[in-house]
Amino acid sequence: MKTHRLLSGLLAFTVLASAAVAETVRYKIDPVHSGIDFRVRHFINMVPGAFTGFEGEIHYDKENPANSKAVASIDIASVNTRNDNRDEHLRQDDFFNAAEFPKMTFESTSWERAGDNLYTVTGNLSFHGHTNTVEIQVQFLGEVEGRGVMRSGWRGTTTIDRTKWGMDGYTAFIGTEIPVELNIQGHRVED
């Protein structure tokens, strides 16, 4: 009888411990320590750019990645290519049309494990009045405590074709395939 109780207790503890480990952890993106960078071919070279205004969350279940999700919102007016005239042109109707479409949004629809701490994250990217599916190759860099906050690190890469979002001007000298790199720090949020 004692053995039966001991085994039942151990089984219950194991189930509870497994449930605790398999929890989904929520991280709020810290824009001060994160970056959304892109490159665009201009004639023969690649010109760098970034968006500096954004927010979002990552809900991460390491044991069951299918339960994970990511959402983000980017301020189009925050585009920065280190040239004021070019940035203003990018905000106009020829490109992003920031007055009519001030936000770019991303919402993941699936996470698939692609290796150790590597994931293929699929989701809907919306801007300029269009929504298309994109795949982002994501690496979870780990988690560390700093100043009383649990911080996670993420790196993501993808390439988008700007013409799929209706930005199809100037293709003779401005590239259509845009490599994007995400370097994200998330702060754990306790519900």
Give pLDDT, residue 6: 43
Whether residue 77 lies inside any domain: the answer is yes
Taking Cα atoms as reference points, which of 68, 162, 74 lies closest to residue 118? 68
Whether residue 17 lies inside any domain: the answer is no
pTM beyond 0.85, yes or no: yes
Q: What is the DSSP string of 61-101?
A: -SS-GGG-EEEEEEEGGGEE-S-HHHHHHHHSTTTT-TTT-
pLDDT tens per residue across span 65-79: 999 999 999 999 999
Give pLDDT, residue 19: 43
Whether residue 14 lies inside any domain: the answer is no
Query: Average pLDDT over the chain, rounded to whole?
Result: 91
pLDDT tens per residue across span 92-116: 999 999 999 999 999 999 999 999 9
pLDDT tens per residue across span 170-190: 999 999 999 999 999 999 998
Give pLDDT, residue 191: 74
Whether 156 shows a pLDDT value over 90: the answer reads yes
* Residues spanned by the domain of 172: 24-189
Whether 11 shows a pLDDT value over 60: the answer reads no
CATH number of the domain bearing residue 48: 2.40.128.110
Whether residue 165 lies inside any domain: the answer is yes
Whether residue 7 lies inside any domain: the answer is no
Contacts of 63 (CB under 8 A, 6+ apart): 21, 22
User: Please, are residues 74 and 56 in contact by the beta-carbon 8 Å criterion?
Assistant: no
Whether residue 85 lies inside any domain: the answer is yes
Tell me the mean pLDDT in the region 116-127: 98
Give me the number of domains the chain comprises: 1
Tell me the mean pLDDT in the region 32-45: 98
What letter does residue 94 receive in the DSSP assignment? Answer: T
Whether residue 31 lies inside any domain: the answer is yes
Whether residue 71 lies inside any domain: the answer is yes
Give pLDDT, residue 5: 52
User: Please, are residues 98 and 74 in contact by the beta-carbon 8 Å criterion?
Assistant: no
Whether 23 shows a pLDDT value over 80: the answer reads yes
